[in-house]
Structure 1
Amino acid sequence: MTRILCANWQAADDAELEREHFPDVELVLARSTTYVAAVLDPADCASVDAVINYSPTLLVEVPPSAFPKARIAVRSGVGFDNLDLKGWAARGVPACNVPDYGTTEVADHAIALVLALTRGTSTYSADLLGEGAAGWHFSRAPLVRRHRHARFGVVGLGRIGLAAARRAAAFDMRVTFYDPYLSSGVELATGYDRAHSLAELMLTSDIVSIHAPLSPETQGLIGAAALAAAKPGLILVNTARGPIIDLDALAAALRDGRVAGAGLDVLPAEPGDLEHPLIAAWRAREPWIRDRLVVTPHAAFFSPASMIDLRLKSVEVAHAFLTEGRLSNCVNGVTP
């Protein structure tokens, strides 16, 4: 029987869903907390055929060399910055992710963050709860604007970026994308405008939504230089990975008004670094940031349906390779 180690397992159940759908697989659960990686039994490490990391942030606590029989490693989610890609590649083992479980949820969430700011939904609700009748006025939300003909900029026109762009277009927004990895002609196929530099995208967009993976190239991509190039009054949204935005630079841009508002589902340190000056000011409802920042707890991917997809697809990626030799979503360049 195939044995798969489920490292950093955080679900409350004992993988009954997975066991029902994959009866020929023995699942070894190694539970973690949100903050601390699972302690792994060396005997399990030595005997499993595959490793799945279920944490969005924690690493597997031991290196790939601790898994001599493993033939595939999987990150249960889209982001793979907490998989040891080089370590697995050095052993000739493919490392894969699960990119297709929450595409529509993340795209929906990106637009929801935009609307929370530009239609005032978060402000109106909070003011009515906190102030009663005194909060009953349309002028309470400072960033409300018309979406029709606004320019929606997308950083990274992959699956989620494209889904977000389609939703923005449905609001009659004009779409521009920046993605240096896409071949020429994508703009013709989509009907969207193409920016040939990040600075160009920032300068011409009313809203910028980030949908790029975290890598050495994208870490800090939205920093002081990018924000200095932004069109005044920019709305910035990040549902990708926290470290893509330099929070200190964003705080400065919000203070000087270059950025009007921001919606963040991800932060550089997660669980959220609530002591960062920007986040602390937002939590304290300091006047300069009040109603200009919306933060959600890395929840863009979530719906009950997406969680079922994620759990089943994570095992499916490993199972298909081990039983059929069918490799999908490899992110470390190994093709056995």
Structure 2
Amino acid sequence: MTYKILWAPLRWTDDHHIEHESAGDQCEAVLAASLEEITQDQWLSCDAIVSLTDVPERYRSQAKNCKIFVTPKVGYDNIDIKAWAAAGIPVCNVPDYGTMEVADHAIAMYLSLVRGITYHSRELQKAPDDNWLPIRYKPTRRLSTSTFGIVGLGRIGMATALRAKAFGMDVCFFDPHVENGRDKALGVRRVDDLQYLFSQCDAVSIHVPLSRETDKLINAEVLASSKPNLMLINTARGPVIDLDALYHALKTDQLQAAALDVLPEEKPVDKSHPLLRAWSAQESWIDHRLLLTPHSAFYSTESMYDMRFLGGQGAAQFLTKGVLRNCVNSEYLTG
């Protein structure tokens, strides 16, 4: 028997050999560039669906033979996991495709801020001779004397912690959902209060999923407790940080700097927000204090391969072996 794995819709425009390889010998990858081009027969005959975005109910209701839905990425806040569960279909993610890349990116953002790398590059472009002076960048500090805080000690949080430790930093974390003992295994310190974490750290890196609990988790109250000259890094999800509160914290010097790979609104970016407007206009108070990258922390050639291959493989393993990994809606499934 050959199972059919429907990729709908596909983001990539190459020859899709990765999707075909991931299906293995007992499954067939059925590829579609858009939802609209998928026929009713393809919806009806598919055994699994792999998609970065959710499938609207008008299409989902046609997939009567579907046994699993896989979103080949870490975040699943854009997937209606309860609706899939109501149809008896498990939803799985791919949490491990970009772990190293995101951790690398978080540390790289901190290094760029604390060592003034982007600052010096830009200043030297303006006047190489006049600005050949390292002492002009005041936030520079020795890494081994820094305390590095992590909010969320999951896969990426742990990878980031190990990288920070490798630089000799004192690492502590806040995560009420992590079991006791993980701190001992990693050689890091546990902190039970988020505001206390901010009050003790020179840098804080965010590594939590987006949920009702974490939406605007980093708010004005938390930021007001920051240690002087704290640098904040977010490679998780944009809405985890209250952007209005971040603007105020930077404007009033509660924070030294922030590095954001994600924003509450992306594509289109809310360019009218005061923080982004000030950054875009290169207002003096924010100059060299806000570092932005375009949701690129996860990206590498290797991670893109893993995203695609592991997504298809996860569906194929469930269909052919009954192996269900990384199910994110199990609490809503019945029976």
Task: Tell me, yes or no, whether TM beats 0.5.
Answer: yes
Q: Indicate conservation of the 8 Å contact 1:143/1:292, yes or no.
A: no
Question: SS where residue 145 of structure 2 aligns?
Answer: coil
Stretch of structure 1 that moved more, 42-51 or 87-96: 42-51
Q: Which structure 2 residues correspond to residues 281-296 of structure 1 after superposition, within 5 A?
A: 281-296=278-293
> Could you report, residue by residue, the CA deviation over 1:229-286 in whole angstroms, capped at 9, with x for unpaired residues?
2112110000111110111110100001111101111111122333322122112211
Q: Is the CA contact (8 Å cut-off) linking 2:102 and 2:297 kept in structure 1?
A: yes
Equivalence map 1:244-263=2 (5 Å): 244-263=240-259
Which letter maps to 1:60?
V
Choose between structure 1 and 2 for higher RCO, CA contacts under 8 A separated by at least 6 residues: 2
Q: Which residue of 2 aligns with 1:77?
A: 73
Other-structure match for 1:12 = 13
Corresponding position of 2:45: 47
Runs of 5+ consecutive residues of structure 1 not aligned to the other structure: 33-37
**Aligned residue for 1:29?**
31
1:276 partnered with 2:262: no
Return the TM-score normalized by structure 2.
Answer: 0.92
Find the partner of 2:230 among 231, 234, 244.
234
Look up the match of 1:185: 181
In 2: Cα distance, 1:219 partner to 1:89 partner: 23
**Structure 1 pair 125–319 and aligned structure 2 pair: CA distance change class (3 A):** same
Percent identity over the alignment is 47
Structure 2 distance, partners of 1:253, 1:198, is 16
> Residues 46 and 169 (structure 1 numbering): CA distance in 2 closer, same or farther, change over 3 Å?
same
Change (3 A) 1:18 1:42: closer
Task: Find out whether 1:136 has 2:132 as its counterpart.
Answer: yes
SS in 1 for 2:215: coil
Deviation of 1:174 after TM superposition, in Å, equals 0.5
Cα deviation per residue 1:163-199 (whole Å; 9 max; x = unaligned)? 1011111111101111101122222222211111111
- The answer for the alignment partner of 1:317 in structure 2 is 314
| Offset, 1:30 | 3.3
Structure 2 CA distance, aligned partners of 1:61 and 1:9?
Answer: 16
Distance 2:318 2:50 in 1: 13
2:6–2:30: 8 Å Cα contact kept in structure 1?
A: yes
Is the CA contact 1:209–1:237 (under 8 Å) kept in the aligned structure 2? Answer: yes
Query: 2: distance between equivalents of 1:215 and 1:126?
Result: 37
* Equivalent of 2:204 in 202, 205, 208: 208
For these two proteins, the number of residue pairs brought into alignment is 328
Q: 1:94 aligns with which of 90, 93, 98?
A: 90
AA aligned opposite 2:312: V
Which AA in structure 1 matches 2:46? V
1:301-332 CA-to-partner distances (Å, cap 9, x unmatched) read 11111111111001011010011100101111
Are 1:155 and 1:177, in contact at CA under 8 Å, matched by a contact in 2?
Answer: yes
User: Match of 1:12, as an amino acid?
Assistant: T
Give the AA of the match of 1:79.
G
Question: 1:297 Cα shift?
Answer: 0.6
Runs of 4+ in 1 over 4 A off after TM superposition: none
Q: CA RMSD in A?
A: 1.8
Partner of 1:59: 54
